[in-house]
Each structure stands twice: as structure tokens, then as C-alpha cells.
Structure 1
Amino acid sequence: MFHSKVFTAWFFAAIAVWALLFWQLNSLSFLAEYWYYPAVMVVGAFVAGLTPEGGGAVAFPTLNVFMEVDRGIARDFSLMIQSIGMTSASIFLLTRPGAVRRDYAPLLWYIPVCFAGFLIGLETLQAIPVYLIQALFLSLITSFVTAYFFSDHRGRETHPHIRTMTDTAWTVAILLTGGLAASLFGTGADIILYTLLVTRFHMQEKLATHYSIMLMAAVSVLGFAWRGLVEQDISNFQIRTWLNAYPVVLFMAPFGALILTRINVEWMLKGLIALNVMQLAYFNLNGPSLEKFAASAVFSLVLGGVFFLSMRHVAAKARERAAAANA
């Protein structure tokens, strides 16, 4: 994994910063008491590096739904932990042998647009009832990974070619939507961007995953900084839980990215489907209500339809191109 001087320097510098912060701000007794934060992120960070779902796709529902941690704290933890893990994965991807960094140039304008959506969401969406946010998020990740697994979308493009004003409008709308999602869950922009890239722009699956990782890494860094430095609403407790999981995600996210370059990820997707379905089921069975069930059903049907139809459209276009090439 330590294939480049840049990544190696980043990794050991980040470890040194963590050791200093842990020594000054945290303690082994706190780590022992809140051991489940790093435990959750062993899986979460691996998922972040291996798939288009960020580590928050595991962290947010585990903390907010299972452990009943405040929704805002769970969102902030997702941003904080992704600011290390997904940044680590991004540096790994950008400095690996054979990486063509100019292919990722569109991210230079994707990131500020998505972050603008995040800021808008912080100002306008935070009063939404928590059960609706939980139902929306669980439906989003379950629908996405299921459609992702069962689809046959294989693009050929190495970067998104924006040729028309309609392409630009779709991209801006999707990035703003991703930012709104991140303001609620601390993740989600990566899933939404991935869907755009493989459907409208027919990008290669792994490169689209790289784009989604890098976008979510940048938005997480900016979101963490905004919440901590501008709004000054990150507590000492949150910093200490972040430090508990910091070294785990620093290693596990780029390790997941390394595995992505070498294996077929279908086995991992099967596990994600099972995990997400169980999370959605637990949400509806724990304190069941008609409102929770209805929200889950509507969101799952709508999002599932969007994801399945979008990816089926891509597969159909790919078959048409293959038939034309063989004619």
C-alpha cells in the first residue's frame, strides 16, 4: 500500500498529528469506554475505500438508529471521520502507479458546488423530523447498493464529458442535492454523484467510484471545518470520539481502495445489501409506527425506481453500442 513517497509521508505525518492530539486531548480510559466508535469504523472505512458509499453509510445509521446518538452528532462524526479516512483513500488513489490525475480535474468545480449545497442544507433542512431523515437515509443506501449490485452498467469513459447546457444543469443539480444530503447525514453526496457519472456520462465503474470518494473527502473536510471553526459547534466529546477512530480510518480507507483495484467487489456488495436491509428492518421494528413504515416504503420505492431505471438505461445503451460495433 505504501507505494509512493507522497502517500507514505501523508500517512506517517497524519499518525504523528494523531498521537500529539490524542496525548493532549484524549485518554486510554476514554478510548476503552467508547471502544465502539473505532470498532464501527473498521467496517465503515473499508466500505468508504471500496465502494461509492462513504464511511458515514455505516457510521450514521449505527450511531443514530441503533445507539440513538443525536442525529446532528452522528452527522458530524461521519464528516469528521471521513475527513481523515476518505482523504487518506483519495491521496492513495491520486498517487498510485498509473494514476492519471488530469482525469479528476472536474472535481475542482464539483467540490465548491457540492459544498454550497451542504451550506444551504445546514440553513434550511435541519428542522426536518428525525424519523424522516433516518428513513430517507436508510432507504437511500439500501436502494442504491441493491441497484448497484444487480445492474449491468459498464461504462467506457475515463472522465465526464459535459457537452451541452443540459449536462451542466444536471451536474449542478446533482451536486447541490449531494450537498443537501451531506448536511443531513454527513454522507450521501458520493452515492448521488456516482449515479450521475455511470448513468449520464457512462463512466467506468471504478473511476466513478474514485470520483465519489474524492468528492466526499473534500466535502467532509470542508464540512468539519465549517462546523468546528465557523459555527464552533463541535464539542470536546466529539473531538475525543473522532480521535478514538482516527487511526483506524487512516489505514482502513486506503486499504479498501487498494482492494478495489485488485478484486471483484461482488462479495462485498452482498454483505452491504444484507447490512443495509437489516438496518432498515431494525429501524421499522424498533418502536414501530405507521409514519416510519410509510416513510420507509415511499422513499424505498421512489429511490429504488430511480436507481434501477437509471442503471438499466446505462446497460441498454452499452448493449446498443456493442451491437453497433459488431455490426
Structure 2
Amino acid sequence: MTTVTISNSTESSTDEQQSTKRTPAAWFKKYFLAGQQLSAVKVEPPPDASFFERILITHRKYVAVILPTSIAMIIWLLTAYRYNWFRLYETHWQMPIVMILGCTVAGMTAESGGAVAFPFMTLAMHVDPGDARDFAVLIECAGLVCATFSVHFMRVQVESKATLFGLMGSIPGLIVGFEYFDHLLTGPQKKMLFVSIWSSFAVALYILNREKKRKTYSEIQNMNYQKAIILIVTGFIGGILTAFTGSGTDICLFSIITVLFRISEKVATPTTIEIMGMNALISGYYRAIWAADVSEDMYSYVKVTIPIALIVAPVASFIGSHFHRQVLAWFVYIIEFAAIVGFVITGPPIILLVIGAAIIVVGFLFFFGLCKLGERMMNQDRIHLEGTLPMDTPKAQIGWSQ
């Protein structure tokens, strides 16, 4: 039996022809009120449902944000009162402010809060990259876990195969990265790698999104062992990068499933949120409990930033699930551009600038090659599906349109 995906993010030629006539209100509705892409399973309240059961079902998306945030905030408030964490705001106020942006990024895009925390702490505050990495993974434990709950409770569609095989690779990658690779690079080298690798991806994603009538899917088509191996290897590499900077698995898998497998950003983003949430829990456990090597200063920053993560990340996840995929992509462009500017402003050695520029060029060529390979794979999937479906099956029902 052939499984058919009824989803496509191709923008119609009619919209393109009428783009000049679109009012500001219509433009805002298209890009910021595009609606959630939910799973196919719909739950209706039974006739004998109680008042609270009806609330949980009919107002699911609001409960998904309020419930985890409320429970976690009560726990934090009781703990903060018991140990007087409030006094820490006098000396550690910087990160709560910065992580308003960081947690917004984590909830809305494929990049975790570490994509903001790591460059800010290392480039602006001159914090050791290892300490910045520890802060990133610990604060992600709070924010991304709540955001993951919100994603699943709202039944926002995710690519479960990418999650499964990505985690199969990222967990060993984290351990290998922490144990063997983390000590091989200096602080400036880690900063350079962080900025250059993800900047090359942002450029490739921009070129990909410039394709006219770009076709996307809501799940990986014709899943086989070769695609599973690609996801596992990608997760492994991402796990190693996460061990350096506190993020990496999310953007690695996001790049593969969007650029190679042509998954819509509206599906890829919540998928990477849950992947990075699991990676954050494992990384946090490893650094805080197994290695027991987190500095007291980083713990203090985490204590005062937790409320921001608990509130902003789930809310941003809810809001971002309504955005057009192009809006989510532009978040990635802006973040990476800001990271490049910040890295250059710090005045790194010329050799690092040259190496970073070379990595951006090579990385761009790599991702551009993935774009072309993804287009070829999409055409093969199309031929395969057309050959297994009845002749009169409408094209709109097989995941694409012309």
C-alpha cells in the first residue's frame, strides 16, 4: 500500500500575479497568520465529555502553552524563594535580557537558544566557550522541553522519522564530542566554526527559497535505509558540534531535511525543536551531573534566566507555528548575519577570518550541491509515486502541484 502525503507549500501563480494588488492586511495575514500545520489526527470531544475535558480538547493550543509554563514557573518560584535566587539579578541581569531574543529564536526557528547565547557570551561578554556552551545546554533544558511539550500537545506536525534517526546519531555524537573533540579546538576556533558553518547554510537556504514555485513536503518521501543512514550521520555530526557550542544538531538536521529532503520549514522547525530538546537534556545531564564541571557563575546565570526560557520559548513556539515558512527562514538569515558581524567586530586573527571565509564558501557549495541533489531526489520520488497511483489521481493529492 502506498502512503501519500497530502501537503505542499508551493505558492500558486495566482498569488504571484496578484502580489502587486495585495493590501498590507492581506500581506500580514499571509506571512504571519498562515495557520498551523497540524497532524492529520483530529480529536473531537465526546458527547459525554466534562467541562474540563472539552477545554483540553477544544482549546488545546492555548492549554499547550499555559500548562507547562505554569507548572514549571511555580516550581521555579518556590525554589527561588527558598534559596533567594532573586539577589542574583543584581549581578547577572545581562543574560535574562539577551535570552528574550534567544528563547524567541529557539521557539520559532530551527536554531536553539544557544545560537544567540553562545555568540553573545563569547563575543560580547568574553566568556570562555566551554562555559558559554554549558549555559546554552542548561537553559535549553528548561525552554526547549516546555516548547517540545507545546508542539506535541498542539499536535503540530513533525517529521517523526527525522527525529528518530537524528537522535540515534546525535546521542553518540554528543558523547564523542564531549570526550574526544571538545579539547582539540581553542576558543577562537570554536567561535569561527560556529559562525562560518551556519552562515554558509543560511546563504544556501536563501538561494533555495528564491526558487519560483518551490515544492515542499510534510514528510520524507519513500523512506529507505539510505535516507536513514543520512539522518543518523547528520545527527552524529550535529552532536559533535553541540558539544562545542551548545547547538548544532538542530541546524544540521534542519538543513538536511529542508535542503535535501525538501521538507517545509513549518514542519522542519518543530521537528528540530523536539530533537534539540532531547539533546539539551542529555547534554545538561552529562555536563552538570556526569562530568560535574559546570562553573558556579554559569549556574547563577541559568537560575535567573529560567523564567525567561519557561515563558518565552513555549509562547514563541505557539506564535511561530502560525508563521509562513518564508518568515521562519528569514529569522535564520538575520541571526547568522548578526553572528558574522559580531565575530568580525571582535577583531579575530586574520588567519581565522581567512579560514572562516573559506569554510563559508566550501559550506555554501556543499549546501548548494544538496539543493540540486534534493531536486533530483524529488523528481525520482515523483516518478515513483506516479507509477504506483491510479492514472486519474489528481496531482494536488500527491504532494505537489504545477
Regarding TM over 0.5, the answer is yes
Instruction: Decide which structure has the larger Cα Rg and report it.
Output: 2
Q: State yes or no: 1:176 paired with 2:236.
A: yes
Quote the offset at 1:291 in angstroms.
Answer: 1.6
Figure out how many residues of one structure are paired with residues of the other and give that number: 324
**TM (normalized to structure 2)?**
0.73
Equivalent residue number for residue 321 of structure 2: 261
**Counterparts of residues 152-167 of structure 1 (less than 5 Å):** 152=209, 154-159=215-220, 162-164=223-225, 166-167=226-227
Q: Which moved more, 1:190-199 or 1:55-64?
A: 190-199
Equivalent position amino acid for 2:106 in 1: A
Q: Distance in 1 between matches of 2:125 and 2:60?
A: 36
Equivalent residue number for residue 208 of structure 1: 268
Equivalent residue number for residue 90 of structure 1: 148
Which secondary structure state, in structure 2, belongs to the residue aligned with residue 54 of structure 1? coil
Q: State yes or no: 1:142 paired with 2:199.
A: yes
Give the direction of change, closer, same or farther, for the CA distance of 1:6–1:210 in structure 2 (3 Å limit). Answer: closer
Equivalent residue number for residue 281 of structure 2: 221
Gaps of 5+ in 2: 1-58, 387-394, 396-400
Equivalent position amino acid for 1:244 in 2: V
Equivalent residue number for residue 237 of structure 1: 297
Equivalent position amino acid for 1:188 in 2: G
Q: Distance in 1 between matches of 2:151 and 2:161?
A: 14
**Equivalent residues of 1:90, 1:217 under 8 A apart:** yes
% identical equivalent positions: 22
Give the direction of change, closer, same or farther, for the CA distance of 1:205–1:307 in structure 2 (3 Å limit). Answer: same
Quote the offset at 1:28 in angstroms.
Answer: 2.8
**Equivalent residues of 1:41, 1:55 under 8 A apart:** yes
Which secondary structure state, in structure 2, belongs to the residue aligned with residue 151 of structure 1? helix
Quote the offset at 1:292 in angstroms.
Answer: 1.6
For residues 242-283 of structure 1, what are the alpha-carbon distances to aligned partners after superposition, in whole Å with 9 as ceiling and x for unaligned?
121111111211222222222225456546534432432332
Equivalent position amino acid for 2:99 in 1: M
Equivalent position amino acid for 1:129 in 2: T
**Equivalent residues of 1:135, 1:299 under 8 A apart:** no
Match of 1:308 among 357, 365, 368: 368
**TM (normalized to structure 1)?**
0.88
Equivalent residue number for residue 175 of structure 2: 119
Quote the offset at 1:286 in angstroms.
Answer: 2.3
Q: Distance in 1 between matches of 2:294 and 2:177?
A: 18
Equivalent residue number for residue 188 of structure 2: 131
Equivalent residue number for residue 48 of structure 1: 106
Q: State yes or no: 1:61 paired with 2:119.
A: yes
Equivalent residue number for residue 151 of structure 1: 208
**Equivalent residues of 2:261, 2:378 under 8 A apart:** no
Quote the offset at 1:168 in angstroms.
Answer: 2.7
**Equivalent residues of 1:198, 1:208 under 8 A apart:** yes
Give the direction of change, closer, same or farther, for the CA distance of 1:232–1:161 in structure 2 (3 Å limit). Answer: farther
Q: Which moved more, 1:127-136 or 1:299-308?
A: 299-308
Give the direction of change, closer, same or farther, for the CA distance of 1:175–1:131 in structure 2 (3 Å limit). Answer: same
Q: State yes or no: 1:249 paired with 2:309.
A: yes
**Equivalent residues of 2:65, 2:315 under 8 A apart:** no
Q: Distance in 1 between matches of 2:342 and 2:65?
A: 39
Give the direction of change, closer, same or farther, for the CA distance of 1:302–1:267 in structure 2 (3 Å limit). Answer: same
For residues 168-188 of structure 1, what are the alpha-carbon distances to aligned partners after superposition, in whole Å with 9 as ceiling and x for unaligned?
321221111010010001001
Q: Which moved more, 1:315-324 or 1:226-235?
A: 315-324
Give the direction of change, closer, same or farther, for the CA distance of 1:26–1:148 in structure 2 (3 Å limit). Answer: farther
Gaps of 5+ in 1: none
Equivalent position amino acid for 1:137 in 2: F
Equivalent residue number for residue 356 of structure 2: 296
**Equivalent residues of 2:169, 2:233 under 8 A apart:** no
Q: Distance in 2 between matches of 1:75 and 1:209?
A: 22
What CA RMSD, in Å, does the superposition of the two structures yield over aligned residues?
A: 2.8
Q: Distance in 2 between matches of 1:254 and 1:198?
A: 23
Quote the offset at 1:41 in angstroms.
Answer: 0.7
Quote the offset at 1:26 in angstroms.
Answer: 4.6
Q: Which moved more, 1:196-205 or 1:128-137?
A: 196-205
Match of 1:277 among 337, 340, 347: 337
For residues 15-37 of structure 1, what are the alpha-carbon distances to aligned partners after superposition, in whole Å with 9 as ceiling and x for unaligned?
11211232244533321321110
Match of 1:31 among 58, 80, 89: 89
Quote the offset at 1:10 in angstroms.
Answer: 2.2
Q: Distance in 1 between matches of 2:357 and 2:199?
A: 12
